[in-house]
Every structure is written in structure tokens, then in C-alpha cells.
Amino acid sequence: MIDRFIITTDLSPASSAIMNCLGSLKQYGAGECLLLQCLSHQEMTSIALSYTTAPLERMLQEQKESLERQGFSVATRIVSSNAKQEVNRIAERDGYSLIV
């Protein structure tokens, strides 16, 4: 059974399209997910220089709402690190059984 899963997003239209296709995971027991965006250090520097993360937070909120409409309990997180390493570390540490 998949009870908890991580969805990585780059906030692109393609990522949003994937969000709309995850409802079928409920039949496998999925109920809780972490919507995770991993930003490179270069992306974080660019955001810091612009003084705002509001556009990123707005797009992440839209994706979160899409998942909630499909019946999932959703937490969001934005981290600055190497995506491959960070996603695996979070999955192992926090007990997520699937990475999308």
C-alpha cells in the first residue's frame, strides 16, 4: 500500500498536468502527500535578489489545491538543494513510500 507519497514539481504546466492525473493513487491507499519543489542554489539566489517568492508560492498553492480536490491531504515545501539527493533523503527520513 502507498499511504504517503512525494510529488516533486518545477511549477511548469507539465507538472500541473501531472497533478490532475494522480487521483487514481487513492485506490492504492494513498492519502497524504508532500508537494516538494527543489530549487538550485542559482535559482534561490535569483529569488533572493528579487526579494519575493510570491509567484512561486502562488503556483505551488494552485497545485496543492488541485491535489486537495482529488481528496489528498497535502503539505508543501520549497527547499534549496540538489533535487535527487534531497528527495531521496526526505523520502527515507520521513517514510514516504512513493516518489512521483
Number of H helices and E strands in the chain, helices first, is 4, 4
pTM for the whole thing?
A: 0.80
* 95, 32 contact by CB (below 8 A): no
Q: Is 90 exceeded by the pLDDT of residue 31? A: yes
- Which pLDDT value is given to residue 50? 54
- Which pLDDT value is given to residue 46? 55
Neighbours of 48 (CB within 10 A): 11
Report pLDDT digits (tens) over 34-84: 999 887 655 555 544 455 667 778 888 999 999 999 999 999 988 877 777
CA distances from 63 to 3, 48, 82, 92 (A): 20, 23, 22, 24
- Which pLDDT value is given to residue 63? 92
Rg (CA), the chain: 14
